[in-house]
A and B are shown apart, each in its own frame.
Chain A
Amino acid sequence: MTVEKPLPSPDPVTAPYWNAAAERRFVLPRCEDCGRHHFYPRSVCPHCGSSQLAWGEVSGRGEVYSYTVIHRAPSAAFAPDVPYAVALIALEEGPHLMSHVVGCAPGEVHIGLPVQVDFRDAGDGVLLPVFAPR
């Protein structure tokens, strides 16, 4: 029996993120009033309260802010993947986001590791932004 992993459920606020990822583009929402980026996507800027938001492509560069290596799978779908690294990525543009670090052994992940976005095929046309050492 195949156990499937959960996939994103895009809504009007988050669809631009997932649509861009499906095209291997990494985008973030940016406030047109205060100029700052944020993540996760929202209808209102968490920094200044403005609703004048626009999506734009960003560098995809960042560094590992903190991380853990998962040894016990949270569900059967992840059992083939362990051990794997889950990290908070500090993006060059400011926001932090949670993702996976791929492209190296989990034991090589460390705080401050410079990373670059990559995309992992999750099936059904969904690409997940993940990060690899650069």
Chain B
Amino acid sequence: MIATPLHLLDCAIVSDGAAAAIVTSAERAKDFPRPPAYLLGSGYGVRHSHIGEHTRITETGAIDSGRAAFRTAGLTPADVDVAQLYDCFTITVIVELEDLGFCKKGEGGAFVEGGRIALGGKLPVTTHGGLLSAGHPGVGGGFFHVLEAVRQVRREAGARQVPDVNVALAHGNGGVISVHCTVLLGGADTRTS
């Protein structure tokens, strides 16, 4: 036990690591050797600074960042083929699934049962292993989720590739579940122009 009710395997693996991406216009990306991931929508949400002032602890800024991302993309959670969710602790994933609209508040635990978020499940989550199983180097740790979303929509994720991915969601939070960002990335089939 680390801190009730979280055991060792409920907590992220502290590690070294770094991540980077090239951000450019869709026009310029045409000249690049690799296919781009298109930014379909994004959102941001913050509901507290210190968690001590949080008066609705089961709800996070992911509600706001998710709504904004889906609104700007013109998509709904049902359109997401794979979700890379910030998983500093196991409970974080469950709360984010609820707040991003994949299931109702309080139903996240039941939602993840039965392999639904595993490879081969209806909504594969954090397919690169995430902070819980791949590593957590701080800020770079959150960006791994973005890179995995890019790899999935490019369909170059190898053995962990989810079939027929068109839309991937990546979500990060910082502070103490304080600041939330959601992006929706699309592959070539989401780009009509």
Given contacts A66-B57, A88-B57, contact A98 B4 (CB under 8 A): no
Q: How far is the CA of A68 from the CA of B4 in the complex (A)?
A: 5
- Chain A proximity mask over B1-43: 1 for CB below 8 Å, otherwise 0: 1111110000000000000000000000000000000000000
Report whether B2 and A96 are in contact in the complex, using a CB–CB cutoff of 8 Å: no
Within 8 A of B (CB), among A23-60: 38-40, 46
Interchain CB contact (< 8 A) of A71 among B2, B50, B52, B54: B2
Interface check A5, CB cutoff 8 A: no
Given contacts A40-B50, A40-B52, A97-B52, contact A69 B57 (CB under 8 A): no
Q: Range of interface residues on chain A? A: 10 to 19
**A-B contact number at CB 8 A:** 41
Q: Which residues of A contact B6 (CB under 8 A)?
A: 68
Interface check A95, CB cutoff 8 A: yes
Report 15 cross-chain contacts, Cβ distance below 8 Å, ordered by A residue.
A39-B52, A39-B53, A40-B52, A40-B53, A65-B55, A65-B57, A69-B3, A71-B1, A72-B1, A72-B3, A88-B51, A88-B52, A88-B57, A95-B53, A96-B52
Beyond the given A97-B53, A98-B50, please list 9 additional residue pairs across the A-B interface where CB-CB is below 8 A.
A39-B52, A40-B50, A40-B53, A68-B5, A69-B3, A70-B2, A71-B4, A86-B3, A88-B57
